[in-house]
Amino acid sequence: MTQLSSGQIVRFRDDGYLVLRQRVSAADCAALRAVVSDDLQIAAAPVEYEADVGYAGAPATRDAPGGRTVRRLRGAWQRHPLLQQWAADPALVAMLGQLFGQPVVLNLAHHNCVMTKHPDLGTATGWHRDIRYWSFTDANLITVWLALGREDAGNGGLQVLPGSHRWQIAPDQLDALDFLRPDLARNQALMAQGVTLSLAEGDVLLFHSSLFHAAGTNRSGERKFSVAFAYRGADNLPLAGSRSAAAGEVALG
């Protein structure tokens, strides 16, 4: 599949996300898992540890139990040609171009990583929007999430709030990290609309940077791997002097 159907485009615009089933072959997923497993084994820099995230329930320091568990292998584009090949896949770029309506640019400051979730050690992530710490002309960016194996409620798979990229959220509904506050009744009503996604190996999730999403812990007994990259339309420039403009970009056409 090299183009999205009109129905898929409408679903993405309405829901803020779209799942593309069996987009990457089992052989390609296995090759990518081998690459990232080797890097994980030696914690090849740059990495983010569970102690670094500062989320509720995360280890307080790297020396605390589980503190040196790798959460993300950063700099995925720079790690291996196979990761570059996936990020710049011509069919994927063409689909993103349909959604943006203009040429596509890969931003290296955000995501650009392999997400890992270890059994019982991967900290749960509350409801948040990625755009909370991204700085661009507008909020219209898309994350591409590739599942390198099964992802569901049992191993900390992603949860989404359909249509939440269009919600107006008041500042007092968010905590200091811009997560939805679970103690508010109005937020609890929103969270009740959450959908846990079930992804198989090779499935690809596209989601809007303003979509609220969350993830639980991994109770499966096996590590989970996902590759995540962030893209923008050519006209949606990162703000000068911001973190979003600091790590470089790749024009993909």
In 4-161, the DSSP E strands lie at 17-20, 47-49, 70-74, 104-107, 113-117, 125-128, 141-147, 158-160
- pLDDT value of position 1: 59
pLDDT digits (tens, 9 = 90+) for 84-113: 999 999 999 999 999 999 999 999 999 999
pLDDT digits (tens, 9 = 90+) for 186-229: 999 999 999 999 999 999 999 999 999 999 989 998 999 999 99
**Residue 187 · residue 181 · CB < 8 Å:** yes
- pLDDT value of position 14: 98
Q: Reply yes or no on whether the pLDDT at 133 is more than 70.
A: yes
Q: Reply yes or no on whether the pLDDT at 48 is more than 90.
A: no
pLDDT digits (tens, 9 = 90+) for 134-163: 999 999 999 999 999 999 999 999 999 999
pLDDT digits (tens, 9 = 90+) for 13-37: 999 999 999 999 999 999 999 999 9
**Residue 34 · residue 26 · CB < 8 Å:** no
- Looking at every residue in the chain, the average pLDDT score rounds to 94
Rounded Cα–Cα distance for residues 137 and 135 (Å)? 7
> How is the chain split into domains, by residue range?
6-251
C-alpha 33 chain-centroid distance:
17
- pLDDT value of position 19: 98
**Residue 16 · residue 162 · CB < 8 Å:** yes
Structure tokens at 51: 């102690």
The residue among 223, 226, 222, 219 whose CA lies nearest residue 154 is: 219
CATH homologous superfamily of 6-251 equals: q2cbj1_9rhob like domain (2.60.120.620)
**Residue 194 · residue 160 · CB < 8 Å:** yes
Q: Reply yes or no on whether the pLDDT at 184 is more than 90.
A: yes
The size of the chain, in residues, is 253
Name the pLDDT band for 2 (thresholds 50, 70, 90): confident
